[in-house]
Each structure stands twice: as structure tokens, then as C-alpha cells.
Amino acid sequence: MSTLAVLTFVACVRPPQATAATYRDAPDRVIAEELVRHEAVMLGDFQHGGAYSLQSLLRVLEAWATNPRTPHSLTLFLERDSEAADILTRYLRSGDMSELLDFYLPTGAVEHLEFYADLRALVGQIEDTSRLWIRGAEPGTVFDRPELGAQESYRLFVEERDSTIAAGILDHVSEFPERAVLVFYGNLHLIGNRVRKPFAPPGYPAAKTEGYYLAHYLKSALGQDEVLTVNQIPRSPEPERARPGWPDDRDILVDWDEVPANWLSPDQLDSEYDMAVVRSQSLVGTHPLRQLCCRRIVEESAEDLERLIPFEPVGYHAAKYAGLDRLSLAQTTGETFAEPEGWRQWLSAQAYDGVARLMSPGFEDHVVGLIRDLEQGDNGAAGQLVGLGLPLRGFRPILQGGEAAWREFWSEHRDEVFAMQAVGLWWCGDTAEREWARTYLTETSGRRFEAPRDALKWWRARYRPVTY
């Protein structure tokens, strides 16, 4: 029998219970063993590419690879198309990340590169590497049709995307019934019932916003009890919202209707999952590669912007990512140009020194400007500050302090940004940038790291701190 495993980290819930809740320890082992008991199990990406979410997937994969009570062979479906999955597969075999970088830059995050490297290390411990396959069933990427407007993009999201993904997964299940299947997808895609889907653009008919997600189509085809959906959620840090009987020092697995309603937002209360993993640690922000002061990132961002500009007036995703390219270029260079030609001329006229930019007073001014934007109500600035490596919880106390407090905040936390930049440059930089990165990390940590993934784990443990 084919086994498809789907776990989800989401936020739906039943009414809060007054009695002590039941739970199971070692959720990653339990989930891996469920692969033999269900036709399908789904694992949710609750942070969309964040470190905690990706590391949770790795824990389940490690439990599968080392437990004799789990299926011998496993196919992992990631939220990627087939081309991206094939490129990742080639990296896992060769260890050469250049094709991955060529494919993704300037998008992606340092946490994604860490996941790929960690996954390769795990595969290296499996004697028969054919035990694990990587597949993608997405119908392309947002960059394949940059001309699509907001209305049509949302219609495809509501009406077509999840059923198309399901068809690809079901074809695989039919062709390879001997393989277990683990589907790692955004938590929304694990909702089993019909719900109103978010992100509707202005003017979109409310009656047409309801639809089904991936889990519904898989359950309909394979059987309701044959597809297990497990939503993952971080434990509430507020003592008054604690669940009686649940430990707070480890991850646990619970039935979905055991999760307190007051842990979740109102729009999540009607969503249906089978189970939930309650994770015991806090989330750490994601750090986009496009925020690296790296010559290659500058070049890739300029090229990406040039490609997207013709579609910007009508294309929803084209406008979104062109805007991100402009933010990236302004941050990493301190310059602004109306057209991509300006960036090309600027780059050809000088040897870009990203480390000098990072250490410059101009970069400090840029950070202070972002804090000012946040103080004035621009919540998007918070994402950019976190993306650099600054602590989100540190912003609020200083917002009313004015520029002097903001510059003091930068002075106190800039080492966190420099170290995060060094991790990213070790992966994406040229020879000189990588050499600076390794030297900086060695001097800052007092350690010699074998690879950037090791340095990133050190960064989280030192500056956040968490153990994943």
C-alpha cells in the first residue's frame, strides 16, 4: 500500500477544554511511524521557509531514516515545481550548490540554503540513497506568468492550484504504490473542509473566495481516514492561555480538537485538521538572500528588475517582486535609479564592495531610516529589519526614543546583522566575500565552522537563542 504522509502546522481550533489535555511525546517519531498506517500523511510548513518549520521537517525525516518501523522508501513532495525538485535532487547527489543559486537568486533565504545542506547531510547517512526521492507538483512559479493581474492570480489560487497539485501527487501514488509519500506544504493547504481563502484582491466577489485546499482533494481520492493531516503550532507564551496538563519543555502531538481556541485567530476556528504538533520553542525570523550586501545579489536583483518592469503595470506578482528588487538595490548599494540601465552603468563603473557598504555610515543611516518608517506606521519596515538579522522584540521599546535611541539600538545589535551577512556571503559571495565571511565568523565566534550551515545554527543559538 502506498503511504502518503502529510503534516501541518496551522491555527484552527475547537472550543477550549477545561480538563487536562491528553498528548503524545516524541511527535516526530510518531509522525514517521504513521507513514505505514495511512495512505497519506501531510506535514505543514507553518513558517513558509523559516528555520523552525524546515528543521521540524528534517526531524521527521531523521526519524523515518533511522526507525525500522517506518517504510523503506519515501517520496517527499515540497512546495516546488518539478524543475526545482530536479535541481535540488542533483545538488543532493553532487554537493555543488551553483545550480541551485542560479535558479533561485535573488529570491530565497539563508534558511533555505541551510535546509538543502542539512538535507544533503541526512541523505549522506542513508546507505541506499534511492530510499528518498524529492518531487514537486506545483504548476510552475509566479515568475512563469508575470503578466497575470491580481484578479486572475487569485482566481487560479482559489479554483485551480490545489487540485492541480493533487493530481500530480496522485499520479505518483498510482505509479509507485510501494513508496511512502510525505507532503510538506504551507499549513493552509492541509485544511480538509471548504473555507474562504485569504488574500482576495479589492473588488473580488466574496461569493467566489471559498474553495478547497490540497488535503480535501487527496482525502477525496484516497479516503478520509487514509490521509492524515497534522497541523503544527507554536505554544502560546502567555501563561493565562496555557493548556492544563501540557508540558512546556518539549514538543507534543495532540488531537486537533484539543488545541485551545484562544490560541488561534478568529478566521482559523472553522478549519479542519486531524492532529497538531505543539512546538515548544519560539520562531526566528527568516533572512532573505536579497538583503545580502553581495555583488552577485546586486547583479541578480538588477537583472530581475529589468525582466519584470515591462509587466509591472498589470502583473500582480511582477509589481510585488519588482518592488522587492528596488528595496534590495537601495539597501545593498545606497543608490537609487529609475531604470535598470542606471544600475548596470553604476556596477560597470566601479568594483562593488558589499562589506564596505555594510560597515559604512550610510548603511547605519539606512537602518535608522527603516526604524523611522516603522515608527511612522510602515509595518513592512519591520520585515526588512528582521530580514537583516535584527531582533523584532527590540524595536517596540525604542520607537518613541527618537534617532539617538535608534542609533544606539543599531550599535548594540549590528554584530547580529554582520554575522548574518557573513553566513549568507559564505554561500553566495565571490572569493573575496567568502574569505571575509569565514574570517569574520571565526573572529566573532571563536570557532572554526566547517560550513555555513554550522555558522547559521551558531547564530541562532547565540542571538535568539533556540536549539534548532
> pLDDT tens, 61-91?
999 999 999 999 999 999 999 999 999 999 9
Does pLDDT of 12 surpass 50? Answer: no
Instruction: Write out the E strands in 174-309.
Output: 180-186, 195-196, 210-211, 227-234, 252-255, 275-279
Asked whether 33 and 68 are in contact (CB, 8 A), the reply is: no
Of 18, 16, 14, 7, give the one whose Cα is nearest residue 268. Answer: 14
Domains parsed from the chain with CATH numbers: 3-279 (3.40.50), 289-341 (no CATH), 353-461 (no CATH)
Of 128, 134, 130, 102, give the one whose Cα is nearest residue 116. Answer: 134
> pLDDT tens, 352-399?
999 999 999 999 999 999 999 999 999 999 999 999 999 988 888 899
Q: What is the amino acid identity at position 261? A: A
Asked whether 273 and 26 are in contact (CB, 8 A), the reply is: no
Q: What is the amino acid identity at position 215? A: A
Sign of the dihedral defined by the CA atoms of residues 27, 33, 35, 38, in that order:
negative
> Which cell goes with 27?
511527535
Lowest mean pLDDT among 35-49, 98-112, 238-252, 357-371: 238-252
* pLDDT at position 7: 42
Burial (Cβ within 10 Å: 0-12, 13-18, ≥19) of residue 48: middle
> pLDDT tens, 210-238?
999 999 999 999 999 999 999 998 877 77
* pLDDT at position 270: 87
Query: What CA–CA distance (Å, rounded) separates 168 from 311?
Result: 29
